[in-house]
Structure 1
Amino acid sequence: MLTHHLPALRRPGAQLLAIGAHADDIEIGAGGTVLQLLSVAPATVDVRWVVLSATPARAEEARASAAAFCSDARSVTVDVHDLPDGRFPAEWGTLKETLQALAAETDPDLVLTTRPGDAHQDHRLLATMMPTAFRDHAIWGYEIPKYDGDTTQPSLYVPLDEAIMDRKIALLHEHFPSQADRDWWDDDLFRALPRLRGVESRSRWAEAFVTAKVVVQP
């Protein structure tokens, strides 16, 4: 197992781009990583937080959650779009234009988004399109547990300490009350996958990602 650091995110003006198909995708899949990265590089990172599908009520949740998860960032810009939930394949052109416009405006040091092979059609299409819009960027595809049982073998792990794990879960409950009555929305689920990924990375907790291509420059 190789351990790497991200010095690019420690420089003033570093850019982190987080993209989710739906409100709460980023937080569930990579919320701990966002908190962890920003805790070691406080007040140096500019965050662009993009949610592609949200009703007005869910958009309010997403904006408040982004502000909370990115409270240690130098700045956070939140974009919420209204693509139809569950219908991204039918909105291929709109999604493509949205991502290309975003790529023209940003040059992130790191991109967090859904992983290839995700069973949800919206997540899967987003993951497929991301490398075509962000061709020269580090893209980490996060995991979202779901009924379909689509877990895979990750290639990259971010260990999380206990305080970060607790804060992630607390913020999820605080900022997404609309999801509280769902049968899967509970602490047990939020801890299950990070505990497994922690075992795989010799840590207590971890979030894991799929990254398809890495170019190493000595």
Structure 2
Amino acid sequence: MINRILVLSAHTDDGELGCGATINKWINEGKEVHYLAFSAAEESVPSSFPKEELRKEVLESTSTLGIARENVQVLKYPVRRFSEYRQEILEHLIKVRNDLQPDLILVPSPRDIHQDHQVISNEGVRAFKLYSILAYELPWNNLSFHNQCYSLIKEENLDIKYKALQCYKTQKHRAYFDKDFIYSLANMRGVLINSDYAECFEIIRWIL
């Protein structure tokens, strides 16, 4: 039984973008979801906002999805430089593994070309190699994606995902925050399994 789920997000917003509707579905089902982001990307925050703004936005966003405040942690690794801190990241993940003992871990796709996402995907798999692991979809970063696993979601879950993403005022200029894109991707994935909406995952490891 999957009851405790850990979402690894390289930067604040990655987890919501990749699987926000599924997170909301799981929480509605009574599952315990934990969210660990490794950077609030202070260097990338638009100059019109305070550098710490993403730390506030991620708490609003994850709360909108239904994640308990005490289950959200945001670390301070510098954006686009995660490769310099691989061992520290791995050691932190091992500590989280030992403390939390999750049933399922979600990571960025191994085919994600963003340098920070690659580190979190690789070190996440390394730390949790004895656990079930799914990789979420961020299509603007994925040169390819193996759509092996589908999460059926309802429109109400998708609405909550979009509402959560709207908390990121600093990111609203990005094309992948567009409502049409978010809903059309979920609809396209749903069509592939004869459903209205779905979110898609790659299976890294699945333990029955």
Query: What's the TM-score, normalizing by structure 2?
Result: 0.87
Q: Show CA shifts across 1:25-75 (max 9, x none).
A: 00000101011112223xxx333211101132211111221222125x6x7
Name the counterpart of 1:98: 92
Does 1 or 2 have the higher relative contact order (CA < 8 Å, sep 6+)?
2
Name the counterpart of 1:191: 183
Q: Secondary structure at the match of 1:211?
A: strand
Amino acid at match of 2:29: V
Name the counterpart of 1:3: none
Amino acid at match of 1:63: L
Distance 1:166 1:204 in 2: 13
**Which of 160, 163, 173 does residue 167 from structure 1 map onto?**
160
Contact 2:4 2:32 in 1 (8 A): yes
Q: More deviation in 21-30 or 122-131?
A: 122-131
Contact 2:23 2:33 in 1 (8 A): no
Name the counterpart of 1:182: 174
Name the counterpart of 2:38: 52
- How big is the shift at 1:205? 0.9
Amino acid at match of 1:23: T
Q: Secondary structure at the match of 2:111?
A: coil
Name the counterpart of 2:21: 32
**Which of 185, 205, 208 does residue 213 from structure 1 map onto?**
205
Q: Show CA shifts across 1:96-132 (max 9, x none).
A: 2221221121111121221211111111121111121
Query: What's the TM-score, normalizing by structure 1?
Result: 0.83
Amino acid at match of 1:28: L
In the alignment of these two chains, the number of paired residues is 198
Q: How does 1:1-218 map to 2 (within 5 A)?
A: 8-9=1-2, 14-41=3-30, 45-54=31-40, 55=42, 56-70=52-66, 76-146=70-140, 148=141, 150-173=143-166, 175-216=167-208
Contact 1:169 1:187 in 2 (8 A): yes
Distance verdict in 2 for CA 1:17–1:149, change over 3 Å: closer
Distance 2:171 2:138 in 1: 15
Q: What percentage of aligned pairs have identical amino acids?
A: 28
Contact 1:141 1:209 in 2 (8 A): yes
Q: Name structure 1 gaps, 5 residues minimum.
A: 1-7
Amino acid at match of 2:172: A
Q: Show CA shifts across 1:83-106 (max 9, x none).
A: 111111122122222212211211
Q: What value does the CA root-mean-square deviation take over the aligned residues?
A: 1.8
Contact 2:65 2:160 in 1 (8 A): no
Q: Secondary structure at the match of 2:10?
A: strand
Distance verdict in 2 for CA 1:130–1:102, change over 3 Å: same
